[in-house]
Amino acid sequence: MNAMNTHYPEPVRVEAVNRHTLAVIVDNEPGVLARISGMFSGRGYNIESLTVSETEEARHLSRITIVTTGTNAVIEQIKAQLDRLVPVHRVVDLTLQGNAIEREICLVKVAGQGEHRSEALRLAAAFGAKSIDATLNSFVFELTGTTEEIDRFVRLMSVIGLVEICRTGIAAMGRGAQPL
């Protein structure tokens, strides 16, 4: 029996799972990305979005933006484990900093003729998508926006004649004058 002398089990505590965007500054060297993704997979964490590029050529540093989900305890554990990796210089949870700016680029190929073609152009204009390729029966649109905006655009285009999608993943930056 538990502490309250009852036969009922202790209530199960359910913690909320939240989405977090992490910015990680690392040395730009071979194998760093493999070590970071290996840390995630080895512990059973999921990466929802991953972008990486060299940001400081003179110092050979790259910035990795990782979007992941977990309870507060899991997110703290992820940040601590990332911080312990040797090529990692800094780990910042942009979600905790406040309203970070997040954008994603998407290429969307849509096929169609007649009214479907006209509707694709109207929707693209409404979303601010740019037509970067056009043939007699297809378009490739480029759209930059939040993940939610891109998801809405893709859902609407799937009704018209969506053929293919390519997404970059999220690039994020904190607001204000302070650097990472």
Task: Say yes or no: domain 101-174 is CATH 1.10.287.110.
Answer: no
Average pLDDT over residues 35-60: 94
Asked if the model's pLDDT at residue 41 lies above 90, the reply is yes
Longest dimension (CA), the chain: 76
Give per-residue pLDDT as tens, 104-125: 999 999 998 889 999 999 999 9
CA distance linking residue 105 with residue 24, whole number of Å: 20
Average pLDDT over residues 52-75: 95
Q: What is the pLDDT of residue 45?
A: 95
Query: What proportion of the chain, given as a percentage, has pLDDT over 90?
Result: 84
CA distance linking residue 80 with residue 84, whole number of Å: 6
CATH classification of 17-98, choosing from 3.30.70.260, 3.30.499.10, 1.10.150.120, 3.10.20.310?
Answer: 3.30.70.260
Domain 17-98 and domain 101-174 have a common topology: yes
Asked if the model's pLDDT at residue 1 lies above 60, the reply is no
Q: Where are the domains of the chain?
A: 17-98, 101-174
What global pTM score does this model have? 0.84
Instruction: Tell me what the pLDDT averaged over the chain comes to.
Output: 93
Region of poorest pLDDT, from 1-5, 68-72, 122-126, 169-173: 1-5
Give per-residue pLDDT as tens, 139-164: 999 999 999 999 999 999 999 999 99
Q: pLDDT class for 178, splitting at 50, 70, 90?
A: confident
Q: What is the pLDDT of residue 5?
A: 72
The residue length of the chain stands at: 180
Query: What proportion of the chain, given as a percentage, has pLDDT over 70?
Result: 98
Phi, psi torsion values for 102, nearest 5 degrees: -125, 130
Asked if the model's pLDDT at residue 4 lies above 70, the reply is no
Asked if the model's pLDDT at residue 24 lies above 70, the reply is yes
Q: What is the pLDDT of residue 3?
A: 57
Asked if the model's pLDDT at residue 2 lies above 70, the reply is no
Q: Do residues 127 and 145 make contact, with C-beta atoms less than 8 angstroms apart?
A: yes
Which tokens in the block code for residue 17?
A: 């799972």
